Amino acid sequence: MTLSVEEIVENGLCSGCGLCRAVAGAERISIVLTPEGRERPLVHAPLGLPTLNRINAVCPGTRIEGAHPASHTAEVEHDLIWGPAEQLAIGYAGDPQVRFRASTGGVLTALGQFLLSSGRVDFILHVGASREEPMRSKRRLSFDAASVLEAAGSRYGPAAPLLDFTAVLERRQPFALIAKPCDIAAVRNLAKVDPRVDQYMKYALTLVCGGTSDLTKSEDVLAQFGIREDQLSLFRYRGHGNPGPTRLETLGGQSFELNYQAMWENEDKWMLQSRCKICPDAIGECADLAASDVWPGGGPTGEDEGFNGIIVRTRRGLELYQAALAAGAIKVEPAAVSFRDFDEFQPHQVRKKRAVWARLVGMKAAGKPTPDAHNLRLIECAQLNSVTENLAEARGTRRRAAMGRLSEPGPDPQCTARTVNPDPH
């Protein structure tokens, strides 16, 4: 069934990637910030059925798929939870400055810089803090290593890196995408109907994702310190250490910090969007390489130098990993790492992967549309649970869906919602 853009949003399936705007054109869809603190599409001109079908074909809220077997070498290993891996490692950026400033160990930042310096790509498509409004995140194109480093650090609020993706393709230049797993899933979907994706997007790198928070999470932090957003000169969620503090600085010279535990210890206050709670692939199976935190038990116990878990997913990712390692752009620990080590580093991802199938069943039982998931072993992962556990997940999700807790209001065309645009620089 073809869903309207409004139905995708209102049923809690939208992740805010922005690709629908790129497909339909800015004259028909804009991305706006809603009062709930989410970046969502607002349709303001009729969409023909061919355009709507194309949006449904590419939207990660309607379709998400694991990696194609042709992208792997013959030596690839497979795991029921973690999927395919050409290589597993614990590593970090070779440049100590990158390692310190970036989130965790800086591997994604270092790889972005290496892709540019080695001439493999002409630019990096990613997100970074808005230069004008530092609490907000903007789509950014980086053409040099300094620009990549400037955008380093986690961005937990909403971001729409794909809102002008077709314009990026029209540059006809080789590039790499560094983005969330759902963003990469969207682009992989687009590649099936637009050959320019595989022609120009040479690498797709991602993070093992804990979910996207509404901007209201950040607004609560401002309220805690009694400051306004227009007073900010800096809002850094993480970095400058691992995990590093959430740091706010004002134009008047004040500074405020929260450690990671104070920022994130209460899971009820994470304010994750609904799509994240049913994500079939938060671990980046369709990327070329994924990087994670390395926190046994699932959370930091203090500050350290910064380490990333590295999951090399594809043949292309393996070539990049080996070249970056040889050039010193990244370094890895000598000890061997297994999938079961990743279970320890990211136990919440294991729980989610095992729960997603039952959650989707609960949504369907409530009459809600769900993403069409392929090649992600959701049933097999659910079979690791007891029948009682799966029933509890399905019934709980059905109850929340029936109560409207998995839905959201669409953007009000009459409201003064702010339009989201790419970084102009």
**How many Cα atoms are found within 13 Å in the side-chain-facing hemisphere of 316?**
19
Distances (CA, A) of 392 to 250, 298, 376, 386, 396: 46, 23, 22, 10, 6
Question: What is the tens place of the pLDDT at every residue in 118-131?
Answer: 999 999 999 999 99
Hey, what are 98's tokens? Answer: 């990158």
In a domain, 238, yes or no: no
Euclidean distance between CA atoms 246 and 260, whole angstroms: 7
* Domain-ending residue, one of 346, 378, 404: 346
Number of structural domains found in the chain: 2
The per-residue pLDDT for 264 is 83
Residue 237 lies in a domain: no
What pLDDT does residue 195 have? 98
Residues 329 and 366 placed together within one structural domain of the fold: no
Task: Give me the long-range contacts of 23-26 (CB less than 8 A, separation at least 24).
Answer: 23/51, 23/54, 23/55, 23/58, 23/166, 23/190, 24/51, 24/55, 26/164
Q: Tell me the residue range of the domain where 293 lies.
A: 74-214+269-346
- CB atoms under 10 Å from CB of 245, counted, come to 19
Distance (Å, rounded) from C-alpha 391 to C-alpha 136? 39
Nearest to 276 by CA among 204, 371, 206, 187: 371
Same domain? For 392 and 355 the reply is yes
Percentage, residues of the chain above pLDDT 70 = 99
Q: Tell me the Ramachandran region of residue 237: left when phi exceeds 0, alpha when psi lies from -120 to 50, beta otherwise.
A: alpha
254, part of any domain? no
- pLDDT at position 316 is 98
Looking at the fold, whether 86 and 203 belong to one and the same domain comes out as yes
- What confidence score (pLDDT) does residue 271 get? 87
> Which residue, of 346, 363, 383, is where some domain finishes?
346
The verdict on 122 and 14 lying in the same domain is: no
Residue 167 is assigned to a structural domain of this protein? yes
Regarding whether 188 and 326 lie in a shared domain, the answer is yes
Residue 272 identity (one-letter amino acid): L
Q: Is 192 within the bounds of a domain? A: yes
Q: DSSP assignment, residue 230?
A: G
Alpha-carbon distance 169 to 160, whole Å? 16
Both 155 and 197 in one domain: the answer is yes
Residues 115 and 184 in one domain: yes
336 in a structural domain: yes
Residues 41 and 170 in one domain: no
Q: Tell me how far CA of residue 114 lies from CA of 108, 122, 286, in angstroms.
A: 10, 11, 21
pLDDT in tens, 276-318: 999 999 999 999 999 999 999 999 988 999 999 999 999 999 9
The helix/strand count (H/E) of the chain reads as 17, 18
Residues of the chain with pLDDT under 50: none
161 and 93 co-located in one domain? yes
Residues 46 and 90 in one domain: no
Domain end, chosen from 320, 346, 372, is at: 346
**Confidence (pLDDT) at 416:** 59
Q: Are residues 144 and 292 in the same domain?
A: yes
Asked if 163 and 185 sit in the same domain, the reply is yes
Residue 292 lies in a domain: yes
Please indicate, yes or no, if residue 130 is contained in any of the structural domains: yes
Contact 5, 29 (CB under 8 A): yes
